[in-house]
Amino acid sequence: MSKVYTIAVLVGSLRKESINRKVALALAALAPANLRLNIVEIGDLPLYNEDIDGATPPAAYSTFRQQVSSSDAVLFVTPEYNRSVPAPLKNAIDVGSRPYGKSAWSGKPGAIISVSPGAIGGFGANHHLRQSLVFLDVPCMQQPEAYLGGAGSVFDESGTVSEKTQPFLQAFIDAYGQWVAKQKA
Ligand SMILES: Cc1cc2nc3c(=O)[nH]c(=O)nc-3n(C[C@H](O)[C@H](O)[C@H](O)COP(=O)(O)O)c2cc1C
């Protein structure tokens, strides 16, 4: 049997009814056999502050770093806030990047899907996030790019993905499965 890779999924919205969280769960259900997607929660991480990140960091920091470190790869599913990365997700990225020299992100194959009810599908957040991932040495899947616009109508009342969007999500997660396998080979 081919290797199965564990994927830490970071969702950029903390909202209970988040469309992004629904997309993350849909991707987990559609994932190819070589990927296991697990959402890593970011909502309880204290705002990053070097003063509290000494010999005994907050337990939430340590748990989060361990969850990312022990995963094979990372997948970001995020809305756009004011044309950029939502603060909770940027905070999680900063927490994972420390202590200096021991970043949890280094070398993890990544991918981004941005999701918005708006027309441009969170393009700004998607690309601002890519800028951080360059510095963090996360090799990020380039194609297919994934900007899911008009996302307010992606799910019906029962939570099922629309027929129009399902193939888009399937193509994205299948490509990511191939990308992760290639990077880890
Ligand atoms: C503070 C804030 C800023 C936002 N800025 C943008 C934006 O720049 N571009 C955009 O497409 N949507 C923006 N939105 C709308 C979000 O895309 C929308 O609320 C979306 O549903 C959030 O994702 P979620 O459903 O996963 O929570 C913003 C929402 C908030 C709360």
Q: pLDDT digit string (tens) for 104-141?
A: 999 999 999 999 999 999 999 999 999 999 999 999 99
Mean pLDDT of the chain: 97
- Considering only CA atoms, which residue is closest to atom 11 of ligand 1? 118
Token match 């900063």: residue?
94
Residue range 162-179: average pLDDT? 97
* Pocket lining: 20 vs ligand 1, CB cutoff 6 Å: yes
pLDDT of 60 > 80? The answer is yes
Span from the CA of 70 to the centroid of ligand 1 (angstroms): 30
User: Could you check whether the bond before residue 86 is cis, i.e. omega within 30 degrees of 0?
Assistant: no
* Pocket lining: 148 vs ligand 1, CB cutoff 6 Å: no
Q: Kindly give the number of the ligand 1 atom that is closest to the alpha carbon of 120.
A: 11
> What pLDDT shows up at residue 1?
57
Span from the CA of 147 to the centroid of ligand 1 (angstroms): 13
Burial 139-168 (b: 16+ CB within 10 A, else e): bbbeeeebbbbebeebbeeeeebeeebeeb
Element of type H or E holding 170: helix 166-184
* Pocket lining: 113 vs ligand 1, CB cutoff 6 Å: no
Top-tier CATH class for 5-184: alpha beta
How is the chain split into domains, by residue range?
5-184
* Pocket lining: 126 vs ligand 1, CB cutoff 6 Å: no
> What pLDDT shows up at residue 159?
85
pLDDT range class, residue 147, cuts 50, 70, 90: very high
Does the model's pTM come out above 0.85?
yes
CB atoms within 10 A of CB 130: 16
> What pLDDT shows up at residue 94?
98
